[in-house]
Amino acid sequence: MSLVADTSRPVDAVTAAGRAHTDSAAAFVPDKSRAERTASFDVADFPVPSGREEEWRFTPVKKLRGLLETGATGRLRWETVLPEGVTLSTLPAADARALGLLPPQDRAAVVAADVDTVTLLDIPAEAELSEPVRIRLVGDDLEQRVHEHLVVRAGHHAKATVLLAHRGSAQYSQLVSVLTGDASDVTLVSAQRWEDDAIHLAQHDALVGRDATYRHISLTLGGQVVRLNANVRYAGPGGDATLLGVYFADSGQHLEHRSFVDHNTAHCKSHVTYKGALQGDTARTVWVGDALIRAEAEGTDTYELNRNLILTDGARADSVPNLEIETGEIEGAGHASATGRFDDLQLFYLQARGIPEDEAKRLVVRGFFADIIREIPLADLRDEATAAIEHELATTEYAASTTSTSTTLDRTSKEN
Amino acid sequence: MSTLEIKGLTVSVQTEDGPKEILRGVDLTVNSGETHAIMGPNGSGKSTLAYSIAGHPKYTVTGGTVTLDGEDVLAMSVDERARAGLFLAMQYPVEVPGVTVSNFLRTAKTAIDGEAPKLRTWVKDVKQAMNNLRMDPAFAERNVNEGFSGGEKKRHEILQLQLLKPKMAILDETDSGLDIDALRIVSEGVNQAKDETDLGVLLITHYTRILRYIQPDFVHVFVDGRIVEEGGKELADRLEEEGYDRFLTQASA
Ligand SMILES: Nc1ncnc2c1ncn2[C@@H]1O[C@H](COP(=O)(O)OP(=O)(O)O)[C@@H](O)[C@H]1O
Ligand SMILES: [Mg+2]
């Protein structure tokens, strides 16, 4: 799809994405390296943000109510479907940390981890699950402040899909720590189908095992404020991580997705693709995609992509890719970011085949999301996602389309 | 029996220096079953004529009329024109990411007919048409025009022509970029549509080659935004030998 630059895009996004890149590391380095960001289980290391901090500047912190305070007042209702061999248990927080989890990287995650007991989902080594693990997390009361920490541990050569389906209303801060064993294949799907008033701040980390495949797929449609940070680090060479996201923001919604892929190990891959649609004059989305290729991460291959489709006037999407490269010995590294409206030519082509304008627009939006929806490994969730997007589209009063395009696309490659 | 009637059509496009007139008074009538070839040099306005009839928003009609069976085409939206029976095979078909050919064809057919096609006959029709155009069945699951070769794009346009069964088809340089085998296949596809539905055809081309496969009843020479000479098939033969030079000097004189 051809997209035009959104005029409301922040300056740094435009410069980060619009610069002509070479494969020299210097072109990518932002003011402060992502490696220097605080990562800790100690609440005292993270003051309550004011909203001016780099990692909070897009987030409406005033709407977060007491969620950044420690001390939970309730829990979510957990409804689980566990395939045979999979267990769910609790363990003391100290024991959980001893498993070698990635530490929280912001205030929301550290308060989520500030709990006495952690829930542990265990998928045994060599288990090949034919059915997904389903965990429905339901909030019954917006006044409840909930902090939860879930550890998902998959043994070596395990193959599993885990679905976290979020529903209802709550103020919810969440830390999910995924540990994938060597040569395992784990997909975590996180569906945010909250009521319109829910607040959800999440950090989903994965420590990806040697030769392991990891996929994180987020589907964010509901909630007043959702901020989901999906992070990846590698425990050994040969890891392959894919982070995918679909979001659809209406008026009054702030949907923020961040990812940080820390290429700390040689010969690993990462592929990040987030696509969003926005409608309604106060709809707001943010995507920040950080990738760091450390000096030791030779042979890295990484790509980050974000596309936003603005369906009505007034909606605003921010899109900020950051790529830091500390070694020249990589397979490839690149990113692309584009935010725009409908493409006139596509609409003309479809209409010239008799398809009315509104239907043509729906077809284009459906097509826009199709490559990610296709990757959802659960047929029922794929259908649910498609139906939910159709439902969103049914209420849209579309913005004018445009023919001008300005897509940024960068790719650097280096053979060694 | 249908008639597409173009009278005194003038069209301009918006440029940085203001509107620029491209069509300077086009008169043309196409009846069902007739094939009219429009031949002219690059930049003479042939695509502008095609797009203007189809209703592309980039082109502004500043004068004249276009009617299909007496109905005012210019008052219709793009999709209404298609549903009224007009079809444009585009010179540069557009990619639609994430929308499969099969979904696109079914959606278009449903829109044109006003009801969904009967599943069994539809699947058969699509298969048959694709087979005739030597298109691999796997093609149906690819995204519309995405990664298609030049020849695949043109076959896909003719596939739509066969399945949507319009009254009038405008083929904008469907022959350009095709090798001789593909040209023959695509031409057969057009001829078959003509036989089956008594289609009227406005065949826009830069070269005479395609006229060996699709017989024109009339040939119009298009230069500088208007028709400068009309004749039968023999006019195409003359153009083949002489080129457009004779008309170009006329136009600039
Ligand atoms: N947007 C535009 N701005 C300026 N000139 C244009 C624009 N679009 C088309 N033209 C001009 O209109 C003329 C006719 O173009 P076109 O209809 O594509 O010709 P043909 O199909 O015969 O090659 C050309 O000279 C072309 O440069
Ligand atoms: Mg042309």
How much is the average pLDDT of B181-206?
Answer: 95
* Structural domain total, chain A: 1
In terms of Cα–Cα distance, which of B165, B182, B164 is closest to B174? B182
Q: Is the pLDDT of residue A18 over 80?
A: no
Rg of the Cα trace of chain B? 18
How far out from the chain centre does Cα A150 lie? 17
Residues of A in contact with B160 (CB under 8 A): 353
Ligand 2 centroid distance, CA of A198 (Å)? 54
In this prediction, residue A400 carries a pLDDT of: 55
Q: Is the pLDDT of residue B74 over 50?
A: yes
In this prediction, residue A10 carries a pLDDT of: 33
Judge residue A270's burial from the number of C-beta atoms within 10 Å of its C-beta, 0-12 exposed, 13-18 middle, 19 or more buried: buried
Percent of chain A with pLDDT over 90: 80
Pocket of ligand 1 (CB under 6 A): B 13, 15, 20, 22, 40, 42-48
User: How far is Cα B172 from Cα A71, in angstroms, rounded to an integer?
Assistant: 69
How much is the average pLDDT of B42-62?
Answer: 96
How much is the average pLDDT of A224-242?
Answer: 98
Q: Is the pLDDT of residue B5 over 70?
A: yes
Task: Please provide the average confidence, as pLDDT, over all residues in chain B.
Answer: 95
The ligand 1 atom nearest the CA atom of B15: 3
Cβ contact B104–A348 (<8 Å):
no
pLDDT-derived band at B197, boundaries 50, 70, 90:
very high
In this prediction, residue A27 carries a pLDDT of: 36
Taking CA atoms, B193 is separated from A170, B84, B108, B160, in Å, by 61, 17, 17, 11
In this prediction, residue A414 carries a pLDDT of: 38
User: How far is Cα B251 from Cα A77, in angstroms, rounded to an integer?
Assistant: 80
User: How far is Cα B200 from Cα B6, in angstroms, rounded to an integer?
Assistant: 14
Shortest CA distance from A361: residue in chain B: B96
In this prediction, residue A408 carries a pLDDT of: 37
Q: Which of B14, B16, B22 to mutate to test the pocket of ligand 1 (most atoms within 8 A of CB)?
A: B22
CA dihedral B37, B43, B45, B50 (to 10 degrees): 70
Q: Is the pLDDT of residue A65 over 90?
A: no
pLDDT-derived band at A14, boundaries 50, 70, 90:
very low
pLDDT-derived band at A363, boundaries 50, 70, 90:
very high
Residue A361 and residue A398 in contact, taking contact as beta carbons nearer than 8 Å:
yes
How much is the average pLDDT of A165-180?
Answer: 97
End-to-end CA distance of chain B: 40
pLDDT-derived band at A395, boundaries 50, 70, 90:
confident
Query: CB contact, 8 Å: B74 with chain A?
Result: no
Q: What is the pLDDT of residues A97-152, one digit of tens each?
A: 999 999 999 999 999 999 999 999 999 999 999 999 999 999 999 999 999 999 99
Q: What is the pLDDT of residues B212-253, one digit of tens each?
A: 999 999 999 999 999 999 999 999 999 888 888 888 766 554
In this prediction, residue B243 carries a pLDDT of: 86
In terms of Cα–Cα distance, which of A224, A209, A213, A155 is closest to A188? A213
Residue A106 and residue A149 in contact, taking contact as beta carbons nearer than 8 Å:
no
Q: For residue B52, what are the domain limits?
A: 3-252
Query: CB contact, 8 Å: B57 with chain A?
Result: yes
Tell me the nearest-neighbour CA distance from B51 into chain A, angstroms.
10
Shortest CA distance from A403: residue in chain B: B58
In terms of Cα–Cα distance, which of A293, A371, A306, A294 is closest to A332? A293
In terms of Cα–Cα distance, which of A241, A260, A246 is closest to A186? A241
Ligand 1 centroid distance, CA of A337 (Å)? 31
Question: What does the angle CA A192 – CA A194 – CA A196 come to, to the nearest 5 degrees?
Answer: 130
Identify the CATH number of the domain in which residue B242 sits.
3.40.50.300
Q: Are strands B226-231 and B218-223 parallel, antiparallel or unpaired?
A: antiparallel
User: How far is Cα B211 from Cα B213, in angstroms, rounded to an integer?
Assistant: 5
In this prediction, residue B245 carries a pLDDT of: 85
The ligand 1 atom nearest the CA atom of B172: 21
In this prediction, residue A12 carries a pLDDT of: 32
Q: What is the pLDDT of residues A86-111, one digit of tens each?
A: 999 999 999 999 999 999 999 999 99
Residue B231 and residue B218 in contact, taking contact as beta carbons nearer than 8 Å:
yes
Query: CB contact, 8 Å: A78 with chain B?
Result: no
Query: CB contact, 8 Å: A358 with chain B?
Result: no
Q: Which of B9, B12, B39, B47 to mutate to test the pocket of ligand 1 (most atoms within 8 A of CB)?
A: B47
Shortest CA distance from B113: residue in chain A: A354
Task: Please provide the average confidence, as pLDDT, over all residues in chain A.
Answer: 88
How far out from the chain centre does Cα A118 lie? 22
Q: DSSP of chain B, one letter per residue?
A: --EEEEEEEEEEEEETTEEEEEEEEEEEEEETT-EEEEE--TTSSHHHHHHHHHT-TTEEEEEEEEEETTEEGGGS-HHHHHHHTEEEE-SSPPPEEEEEHHHHHHHHHHHHHSSPPPHHHHHHHHHHHHHHTT--GGGGGSEETTT--HHHHHHHHHHHHHHH--SEEEEESTTTT--HHHHHHHHHHHHHHHHHH--EEEEEES-SGGGGTS--SEEEEEETTEEEEEESHHHHHHHHHHTTHHHHHHHH-
Q: What is the pLDDT of residues A190-220, one digit of tens each?
A: 999 999 999 999 999 999 999 999 999 999 9
Which pair of structure tokens corresponds to residue A399? 């913005």
Residues of B in contact with A403 (CB under 8 A): 58
Q: Which ligand is nearest to the CA of B22?
A: 1
* Structural domain total, chain B: 1
In this prediction, residue A31 carries a pLDDT of: 63
In this prediction, residue B152 carries a pLDDT of: 94
pLDDT-derived band at A398, boundaries 50, 70, 90:
low
ipTM score: 0.96
User: How far is Cα A223 from Cα A144, in angstroms, rounded to an integer?
Assistant: 15
In this prediction, residue A181 carries a pLDDT of: 98
Residue B73 and residue B88 in contact, taking contact as beta carbons nearer than 8 Å:
no
Beta-bridge partners for A189: A163, A217
How much is the average pLDDT of B13-39?
Answer: 97
User: How far is Cα A4 from Cα B22, in angstroms, rounded to an integer?
Assistant: 28
H-helix or E-strand containing A179? strand A159-180
User: How far is Cα B108 from Cα B102, in angstroms, rounded to an integer?
Assistant: 10
Higher pLDDT, A167 or A30: A167
Cβ contact A367–B97 (<8 Å):
yes
Q: For residue A220, what are the domain limits?
A: 5-413
Residues of B in contact with A370 (CB under 8 A): 97-99
Cβ contact B98–A350 (<8 Å):
no
Cβ contact A368–B108 (<8 Å):
no
H-helix or E-strand containing A301? strand A301-310
Coil vs helix vs strand at A221: coil
